[in-house]
Amino acid sequence: ILNVEQSPQSLHVQEGDSTNFTCSFPSSNFYALHWYRWETAKSPEALFVMTLNGDEKKKGRISATLNTKEGYSYLYIKGSQPEDSATYLCASHLIQGAQKLVFGQGTRLTINP
Amino acid sequence: ETGVTQTPRHLVMGMTNKKSLKCEQHLGHNAMYWYKQSAKKPLELMFVYSLEERVENNSVPSRFSPECPNSSHLFLHLHTLQPEDSALYLCASSLQGPPSTDTQYFGPGTRLTVL
């Protein structure tokens, strides 16, 4: 069974501060990791897909790192803005057949003006 | 707005009703997915279609019946549901299906309430 865990479950951050949160996954059988951003009443939006140990991806003020040997990925947001308020999901593929994405429960981020 | 649309956005139905959820993707993708999100649980994969063939059925009860008439459309037919089936149902598509790791693009979901 593949479990993907995210922490914290929720987070309140002051506007302008930087923040980060974690996605943990089993390091054996790793194939790929996806990050999504999900605003209320909208569609989840793909942020990154990462496959290699040591990968770093960046999109504007958001960046992510990947450590496949220890089984974790960090998502960083620099200089948080109110529009960053959303739930951030990570999801991992199994290596055998990579048949499906297994999602974590998400980190709900609220930016306080 | 994403290239994946879902209708209806909200649905209330009784346990004896039959209804269908519709998903359409305008991205030219070859794979489509149904996910379920129950309260306080992660997204759970229900079904995967690749090139209009079902390639994954994740132990879903038979009261949920998917249909993929072509690569752009996906339906989820619902009959004799239970109140615990109340959830958000999300559709997604990707360029290639399993075993690729292509990004999945999601629709906004249908909020289903079963009375």
State CA B41 to chain mean position distance: 17
Interchain CB distance below 8 Å, B99 and A97: yes
Instruction: Look up residue A40 and give its two tokens.
Output: 């209320």
Return d(Cα A56, Cα A67) in angstroms, integer: 10
Tens of pLDDT along A60-92?
999 999 999 999 999 999 999 999 999 999 999
Instruction: Look up residue A81 and give its two tokens.
Output: 């803005």
Strands (E), A5-61: 5-7, 10-14, 19-24, 30-38, 45-50, 56-59
Report chain B's mean pLDDT, rounded to a whole number.
93
Tens of pLDDT along B93-115?
999 988 888 999 999 999 999 99
Tens of pLDDT along B29-84?
999 999 999 998 999 999 999 888 888 777 899 999 999 999 999 999 999 999 99
For chain A, the farthest-separated pair of C-alpha atoms sits apart, in whole angstroms, at 45
Instruction: Look up residue B79 and give its two tokens.
Output: 């009959």
A85 secondary structure, DSSP code: -
φ/ψ of residue A3, rounded to 5: -110, 130
pLDDT, residue B58, reads: 75
**Shortest CA gap B99–chain A (Å):** 5
Closest partner residue to B98 among A36, A98, A103, by Cβ?
A98
Q: Which of A101, A102, A107, A108 to mutate to test the interface with B (most CBs of B within 10 A)?
A: A101
Return d(Cα B28, Cα B102) in angstroms, integer: 13
**Shortest CA gap A112–chain B (Å):** 23
pLDDT, residue A95, reads: 65
Q: Please tell me which residue of chain B has the smallest CA distance to A101.
A: B45
Q: Please tell me which residue of chain A has the smallest CA distance to B104.
A: A46
